[in-house]
Structure 1
């Protein structure tokens, strides 16, 4: 058990709650990409069965493994053919932004539900202390994880959504130059994220920011339902 605690990025006692939250977060994130791509005219993801909330079609086991031990990872990317869009630059930004924004909405919805349950006394009314602890741990995990995924995916480096948004927003000439060095940018990104010393300046600050956001919105919604 001690070995697992040292190996995993996330505390072992919270791992079941983390995995449940992760399944929801990753599934909704990838579904959002696929849904908006299809709505905007690209049926690629739909033809591959990706416009679904079935977690099995969205999971990448290497990405999940790395998330557990390194604090970052990925789901199976949704294929997008921007040539099918009526306005490729605008629609590509919408599709790319849909994933991170879905995590932001999940986090805020989690804060709203958690705040309501707390202020209405539904959690305190539970007779089983272990069940009360489980509810607290799940919502804490779910909310912070989704805020983190929102922030992490907006980093403007490949292969993240933030990079895809950046490439479409900058002038075409600049975007072409970015894409020409994309493979090297991915390597640099992985090295920065994977080297333990750098995590204190990359992954951990984002988790701290995600936690701060969760505190802010929980205070907001508990005050709303309490007053």
Structure 2
């Protein structure tokens, strides 16, 4: 299949705003959860903001440009030892990101339905405005679901890995934490070997179809 550069640019121009919003809300939610539990590290470093440029990771953005679905932001720094909830603090902070993305995906789906039910005549200014908005809302659902499910994979440093670490016995948690240095390599292998397509992608497709 030939690569259509014009179509690609058009797609990315519509996807970039939902993507930036998704990763910004994701990281902000981590920081807010940590702040509410007693750690102000993210606040002191200026990460409690909806400014996407405070969260953008160049490699994560490039990954989006390649996959047209997945990407990531710079992780919000959290000092887990400062959290008031010593037992479940790590899990709460880690879960805040994916939960926020599911909330955004649900809100986007509801807004999309509202846009689609409004009768709009073709070739009008309203139609020219509504169509891109509808596409961006649909992409928002897809991107936020993908970001939530992807981050819940139980691999460090993903949120799923943090949650799993929180619930493991101390010795097993310590051993599991040693795998974080290989996390990025493991994630790339999941993509290259097709394991991701057979396990994670079907979940993303099912949830996206359900919301849409």
TM normalised by structure 1 equals 0.82
Q: Mind listing any 5+ residue stretches in structure 1 that lack a counterpart?
A: 216-227
Structure 1 residue 26 displacement after superposition: 0.7
- The secondary structure found in structure 1 opposite 2:156 is coil
Flag the 1:11–1:200 CA change in 2: closer, same or farther, 3 A.
farther
Alpha-carbon distance in structure 2 between the residues aligned to 1:136 and 1:64: 23
* Contact 1:30-1:75 at 8 Å conserved across structures: yes
Q: 1:181–1:23: structure 2 CA closer, same or farther, 3 Å change rule?
A: closer
Two-structure CA RMSD over aligned residues (Å): 2.4
Q: Pick from 41, 46, 49: which aligns with 1:49?
A: 46
1:9-88 → structure 2 map (5 Å cutoff): 11-70=8-67, 71-88=69-86
Aligned residues: 208
In the aligned structure 1, how far is the partner of 2:196 from the partner of 2:89? 33
Contact 2:152 2:159 in 1 (8 A): yes
Unaligned runs of 5+ in 2: none
Moved over 6 A (4+): none
How far apart, CA to CA, are the structure 2 residues paired with 1:125 and 1:41? 53
Q: Residue 25 of structure 1 contacts residue 103 of structure 1 at CA under 8 Å; is this kept in 2?
A: yes
TM-score by length of 2: 0.87
In 1, are the aligned partners of 2:116 and 2:134 still within 8 Å (CA)? no
CA distance in 2, matches of 1:175, 1:212: 35
Deviation at 1:138, TM superposition (A): 1.1
Q: Does the Cα contact within 8 Å between 2:30 and 2:94 map onto a contact in 1?
A: yes
Structure 2 residue aligned with 1:174 = 172
C-alpha distance in 2 between matches for 1:167 and 1:149 = 20
